[in-house]
Amino acid sequence: MKKVKKTGKHLIVNIYSCGKMPNHSQLYKFIERLVKLVKMNALIKPYIVEGATYNPGITGFIIIETSHISIHTFEAKKFIALDIYSCIDFDHKLVLKEISKEFDTQEIDPMVIAR
């Protein structure tokens, strides 16, 4: 089997015990900051939607020219799931620092996958 060169990075982050859960406006601004932080170009503005009433939270996503960023919040659990996928490399350590500051937590479980 021929080995294929991997050209992308997928950052998957589970964020626990969030001291600050974002509202719509805060999540929108955070997504805009992430796009700049990873030096990407947005193809659309961030889109924020309300979650299901039985599992309160909000979801935000943005299409970037190299793929996407998505964030799902779960208010009752103080939990956030974040994904950034790009077909070009980015500094995921900067993203992790920003997450810690933004959501007031040190309980961050990241996975970095070469794709």
Task: Give the residue extent of every domain in the chain.
Answer: 9-114
Distances (CA, A) of 25 to 36, 69, 102, 105: 17, 16, 13, 20
Q: Which CATH architecture has domain 9-114?
A: 4-Layer Sandwich (3.60)
Euclidean distance between CA atoms 2 and 35, whole angstroms = 34
> Residue 2: what pLDDT?
76
> Residue 101: what pLDDT?
93
7: Cβ–Cβ under 8 A, 6 or more apart, which residues? 87, 88, 115
2: Cβ–Cβ under 8 A, 6 or more apart, which residues? none
Q: What is the mean pLDDT of each run of 10 residues along the chain (115 residues)?
A: 80 96 97 95 97 93 96 96 95 95 94 92
> Residue 52: what pLDDT?
87
Euclidean distance between CA atoms 12 and 14, whole angstroms = 7
